[in-house]
């Protein structure tokens, strides 16, 4: 899969994308990442990419011409590439969206800066707008890294196990079950005995119940869209009943 990142600060991507899983995915050729400096598409000697907004107001706005030229330059090589603008006004980024975008072969990620881009960029060139949360960053570069990382996990061969992505939090709208490793006991806290039993059926059952319990306690909003089996609905009712008894209610 290929990502073209349109940015004013390409050096921000040089170190993070060389590390860990992403670094190995790039080395294997599973993921291709190219940064495109929007300043290279200006026509003046000072490489001006922003200007004051019409109608007045605070801050500066990214000019339409250099951004348009940058997008058109990338799309001239692959007209079918999907162009995404990273902005607080976009649709919330989540696991389902990451999975859907992973089916694309080429994504163009536009990183906004200042007060954003000239509205005509949105109208003429953007296919989707994405936000990674209800807060404002100084630019879209960090958001682009988050999006690339989350999408890349769905590309076959990127993770050590093909099942890893399926067992992550938010798969089927549930949080992941608790994980343990050695030592068996640490400061009075032990590992649940079932995980040492070697009984894979019992372990699977425990993990499903704990995923439901954790989701109920931490993100109950996710359960509204979770596709639960009848057995899982029974587990959830059992958890609710047990918790209400332990509260003395």
Of 50, 65, 115, 129, which residue is the catalytic one? 115
Tokens of 153: 């996990």
pLDDT at 173: 83
Q: Which residue has the tokens 């011409």?
A: 65
Q: Give the fold, CATH level 3, of 2-152.
A: Alpha/beta knot (3.40.1280)
Q: Which residue has the tokens 């060389």?
A: 18
- Helices 141-152 and 20-27 cross at an angle (nearest 10°) of 70
Rounded Cα distance between 212 and 169, Å, is 11
Of 118, 141, 149, 153, which residue is the catalytic one? 153
pLDDT at 42: 98
- How many other C-beta atoms can be found within 10 angstroms of the C-beta atom of residue 173? 19
Q: Where, residue-wise, is CATH 3.40.1280.10 in the chain?
A: 2-152
Of 16, 88, 207, 219, which residue is the catalytic one? 88
pLDDT at 17: 87
pLDDT at 248: 64
Model's pTM, two decimal places?
A: 0.86
- Per the annotation, the verdict on 168 as an active-site residue is yes
pLDDT at 225: 86
Rounded Cα distance between 95 and 90, Å, is 15
- Per the annotation, the verdict on 51 as an active-site residue is no
Q: Which residue ranges of the chain lie beneath pLDDT 70?
A: 161-171, 245-249
pLDDT at 168: 64
pLDDT at 175: 92
Of 50, 65, 129, 168, which residue is the catalytic one? 168
- Per the annotation, the verdict on 230 as an active-site residue is no
Q: Give the distance from CA 204 to its chain's centroid.
A: 27
Give the H/E segment covering residue 34: strand 32-37
Whether CATH 3.40.50.2300 fits 171-246 = no
Rounded Cα distance between 28 and 187, Å, is 42
pLDDT at 181: 93
pLDDT at 124: 98
pLDDT at 243: 75
Contacts of 246 (CB under 8 A, 6+ apart): none
| Phi/psi of residue 33, nearest 5 degrees | -130, 130
């Amino acid at each position: 899969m290929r990502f073209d990142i349109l940015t004013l600060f390409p050096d921000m991507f040089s170190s993070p994308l060389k590390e860990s899983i992403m670094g190995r995915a790039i080395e294997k050729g599973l993921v291709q990442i190219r940064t495109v400096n929007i300043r290279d598409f200006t026509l003046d000697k000072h490489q001006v990419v922003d200007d004051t907004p019409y109608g007045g107001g605070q801050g500066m706005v990214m000019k339409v011409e250099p951004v348009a030229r940058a997008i058109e330059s990338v799309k001239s090589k692959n007209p079918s590439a999907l162009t995404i603008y990273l902005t607080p006004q976009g649709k919330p980024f989540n696991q389902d969206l990451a999975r859907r975008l992973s089916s694309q072969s080429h994504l163009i990620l536009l990183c906004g800066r200042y007060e954003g881009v000239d509205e005509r960029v949105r109208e003429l060139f953007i296919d989707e707008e994405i936000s990674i949360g209800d807060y404002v960053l100084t630019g879209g570069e960090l958001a682009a890294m988050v999006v690339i990382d989350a999408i890349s996990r769905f590309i076959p061969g990127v993770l050590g196990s093909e099942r890893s992505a399926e067992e992550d939090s938010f798969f089927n709208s549930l949080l992941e079950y608790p994980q343990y490793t050695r030592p068996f006991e640490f400061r009075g806290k032990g590992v649940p005995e079932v995980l040492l039993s070697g009984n894979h059926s019992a372990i699977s059952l425990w993990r499903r119940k704990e995923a439901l319990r954790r989701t109920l306690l931490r993100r109950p909003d996710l359960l509204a869209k979770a596709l639960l089996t009848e057995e899982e609905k029974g587990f959830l009712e059992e958890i609710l009943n047990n918790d209400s008894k332990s509260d003395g209610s």
